[in-house]
Chain A
Amino acid sequence: MRTEDLIDQLSARVPRLSRQAGPRRLLAGVGGGTLAALVILLVVYGLRPDLATAGGTVPFWMKWAFTVSLAVAAFAIVRRLARPEGRIGAAWIALATPLVIVAALGVLELGASPPEAWMTLWIGRTAARCSSAIVLLSAPTLVGLLWSLQRLAPTRPVSAGAAAGVLAGAAGAAVYALTCPEQTAVFMATWYTGGIALTGVLGGLLGGRLLRW
């Protein structure tokens, strides 16, 4: 085709586009995925029975503070990498901060308890299912974000996919907190972070395949 004809074709229909169209598309991916994750949670795991009382306690809010702050930081990174010229820049600091804080809280917690109690604090009652549940609950959000990114212009498909995976993982972990009965920071620092990191790796692998254009 001649370039002139192509230009004719492309400029035949130029719909008006909101200045926020890109971020909105990413939000749609996160929102749709998280709603689906809530449905999965209710069907597969159910809410923790004591949610009404636990909802007022510090461990519950610590889990949400951790996962939501990770999600916000990861969203900023995904937003950058969705643009062709976008770079992560200093945004990784916002992502690292909650991780460092929770790891430090975990160390303090262990320091304040006798060594015999360490395994119980670390493994809790639900370690075996925690990380895999987070990956499962993150899957719809990861799919949603990859769908959004396919319509934007990431020029670093693996990084963009990995950032999308971390965002999906953090959102999935926030949903999982509604059923998770664990109390300790060291539990969260290990199993929550593990599930989120796994989803990040998954996102990177998928991104390398699905986000080329």
Chain B
Amino acid sequence: MRAIEDHLKGLMLRGLDGDEVAHRQLLIELAAILRGYFGRTARNARADVEDLVQETLIAVHTRRESYDTTQPFTPWLFAMARYKRIDHFRRSRLRTAGPLSDLDRRYGIDDSPAVEAAFDIEHLMADLPAREREAIRHVKLEGLSVAEASMRSGLSEAYVKVSVHRGLRKLMAKVRKGETPRAD
């Protein structure tokens, strides 16, 4: 995973020095990485994924100044991608909370059960240690591979696997005890 980080950071730094070829190469490679990142979030339709990829690429390009070259590159990238995804999720939730659009009415689309399920899982996981919670969120909810989760959290792949395993075992125990998600 260090190899990817070093490779992308190298391209980014050359782009900052005004190297158009490197910058272009960076955006092409990021598009593929981001497509995978957004695509695995099940809620997102194909068109949404491409929108998110483009919005994030534009942010990478126009907000280059916010990159501190003494820091690693991938956390910077994924923090922006994550921000774009949350923003997108918030907007689409507002859409479903508001009056139904014509399209929604015609097709009877209502994704609130999926949204509520996501909140239930968040509540259930609230008591887990942060690392286990993050690992489950990355690998089981967002569908990242163990390698990607390791890259994003900075923990080793073995540690991510162990955290997912331990966290799930605790969740299972909680569910078996009949504990229901906290109702707020």
Contact = CB atoms under 8 A, between A and B. Distances in A.
A8 to B, nearest CB: 8
Contacts of A129: none
Interface in B53-83: 53-54, 57-59, 61, 63-69, 71, 75-76, 78-80, 82-83
A83 B67 contact: yes
A151 B59 CA distance: 10
B23 A84 contact: no
B85 to A, nearest CB: 11
A10 B79 contact: no
B27 A10 contact: yes
B91 to A, nearest CB: 11
Contact of B27 (A11, A16, A153): A11
Contact of B58 (A6, A82, A212): A6
Interface stretch (B10-18, B115-123, B169-177): B10-18
- Per DSSP, chain A at the interface is loop
A22 B63 CA distance: 9
Nearest to A22: B65
A22 B66 contact: yes
A3 B80 contact: no
B59 A153 contact: yes
B139 interface: no
Contacts of B31: 3, 7
Nearest to B26: A11
Contacts of A17: 16, 18, 64-65
Given A82-B66, A83-B68, A85-B75, A153 B80 contact: yes
B28 interface: yes
Interface in B1-51: 15-20, 23-24, 27-28, 31, 50
Given A14-B19, A14-B23, A17-B16, A151 B79 contact: no
Interface string A1-33: 101001110111111110101100100000000
Contacts, number: 83
Contacts of A212: 87
B54 A153 contact: no
A168 to B, nearest CB: 20
Interface residues of A, number: 27
A154 B138 CA distance: 23
A3 B33 CA distance: 13
B65 A25 contact: yes
B80 A155 contact: yes
A152 interface: yes
B57 A84 contact: no
A84 B76 contact: yes
Given A10-B61, A155-B83, A3 B50 contact: yes
Contacts of A10: 23, 27, 57-58, 61
A3 B66 contact: no
Nearest 9 CB-CB pairings of A with B: A16-B18, A84-B79, A11-B24, A85-B79, A153-B66, A152-B66, A153-B63, A155-B83, A21-B65
Interface of B: 15-20, 23-24, 27-28, 31, 50, 53-54, 57-59, 61, 63-69, 71, 75-76, 78-80, 82-83, 87
Given A11-B24, A153-B59, 5 more contacts: A16-B18, A21-B64, A22-B67, A22-B68, A153-B80
Interface of A: 1, 3, 6-8, 10-17, 19, 21-22, 25, 82-85, 151-153, 155, 212-213
19 contacts: A3-B53, A3-B54, A3-B57, A6-B58, A7-B24, A7-B27, A10-B58, A14-B19, A16-B18, A17-B16, A19-B69, A83-B68, A83-B76, A85-B71, A85-B75, A85-B76, A152-B63, A152-B65, A153-B83
